[in-house]
Amino acid sequence: MRFLKSRGNESFYIFRQMKFDVFSIVVLLGALQALFFSIYLFFLPSRNKIQNRALAFFIFILSYNGFETLNWSSGLFKHFPFFEFCSFILVFGLGPCIYLYVRSFRAISETKKAWPHFLIIWPMLFCRLWILVTWLLQVNGREVLIDAGMINDWFCAIAEPLSVIVFTIYLIFAVREYRCMVRDHVQNGGWTPEEKESIARWLKKLLIVMGMFSVLWTATVGLPFIYDTGNQNYYVIEVALVVFIYWIGYAGYYRSRIIYVSEQRKTSPYIDHLKRDEIERSLSALSQAMEKDKLYLDPELNLNSLAAYIGVQPKTLSAVLNQVLQKGFSEYVNTWRVEAVKEMILDPDKRHLTLTGIAYDCGFSSQPTFQRAFKSITGLTPRDYLQNSIQIQN
């Protein structure tokens, strides 16, 4: 009982020492909102799980940052050093999450291997554990080669600007994916033109906000190299992050619901209303268009034009592709294009052509799209496939 009373008094003392001003309360509510929304997104049913989970992890990192901000704004860091030991770890996941989220709108199958993008988190975690172990040894009177505080100073001096660089690089990659999505006119997953335009607007808005955040983050980290500002330079970006947490919570929830409802509308309820002979006719016309008429050779081919060619509604074609063939539009068409590329690679008369030239001849509109589609479907890069084919023939 004495121990419980002592612990209770200590908790009450800590609570009284906390500075729960308006800013801290706003940060707390925003962090909780982001935490709950990230959990909701993670478990939200979707056939494109990487899309939801990339955004969920992104928002979870923002939630963690919110609690980290609350830690110093309320004075909790004096009693709970957890956030001090764990800083500059999860932040390295922000860039990969944004990149994978934007990329997931182009092709589901191309984003299955997401884990390599987060490898940088592991050395950061190792460094933090190293600092923690060194600190514990010092606290217990053991001798260490390097002081824990000195290691921490070195780590922060490197990790902080490195986190900005990693985020900016991945943001550039995300912008490139967005531009490719708009340029290629690909209606992945059977999106209607209206839905695709809405998605493009959402991604553009998100990337613009991320670009502003990147500039602010760079200025925050770079400003102390020009003149000493103490910790005041962090207030602006922390306030901006709180505002962004509330915005992404509202906008992200609204957008995820639109996407979820759109996916539900395209799936089984519609296919169940199609007659069996109508499905068979669509499959036969689709096979004719690809196998004999070779429509996949047209780089401008999209869901609407293919549906018009075979004489069905776009939503009927989308339902047949997604529910019967278990493929999105771009995945289906790229499968035919990859098969055509493989035939040309094995043709001795085509050996004078480059791989990029063959890809364009087979309907691909860009070299990166060709590389990703080929590896996704065959498991090999085009060059590896070519070398293996030459070895087998010899």
pLDDT at 230 over 80: no
Residue 276 lies in a domain: no
Last residue of a domain, one of 200, 234, 266: 266
Residue 57 and residue 127 in one domain: yes
Per-residue model confidence as pLDDT tens digits over 37-48: 888 878 876 667
DSSP assignment of 9-52: HHHHHHHHHS---HHHHHHHHHHHHHHHHHHHHHHS--S-HHHH
Beta-carbon neighbour count of residue 21 at 10 Å? 11
Across the range 6-16, mean pLDDT stands at 42
298: left (phi over 0), alpha (psi -120 to 50) or beta: beta
pLDDT tier at 108, thresholds 50, 70, 90:
very low
Asked, for residue 7, whether it belongs to a domain, the answer is no
- Whether 272 has a pLDDT exceeding 80, the answer reads no
Are 235 and 175 within one domain?
A: yes
Residues 218, 294, single domain; the answer is no
User: Are 292 and 172 in a shared domain?
Assistant: no
* pLDDT given at position 271: 62
State whether 254 and 298 are in the same domain: no
- End-to-end CA distance of the chain, in Å? 83
Q: Has residue 273 been placed in a domain?
A: no
Domain containing residue 40: 23-266
Pick 181 or 261 by higher pLDDT: 181
CATH code of the domain containing 115: 1.20.1070
Question: What is the predicted pLDDT for the residue at 6?
Answer: 37
Answering whether pTM is above 0.75, one says no
Q: Is residue 376 part of a domain?
A: yes
Both 304 and 368 in a single domain? yes
43 and 165 co-located in one domain: yes
Q: How many domains does the chain have?
A: 2
Residue 241 lies in a domain: yes
* 271 within some domain: no
In whole angstroms, what is the distance from residue 327 CA to residue 286 CA?
Answer: 13
The highest-confidence range among 21-30, 239-248, 288-297, by mean pLDDT, is: 288-297
Specify whether 206 is located in the same domain as 303.
no
Ranges 71-75, 90-94, 385-389: which has the least confidence: 71-75
pLDDT tens-digit readout, 59-88: 899 888 888 887 777 766 555 667 777 788
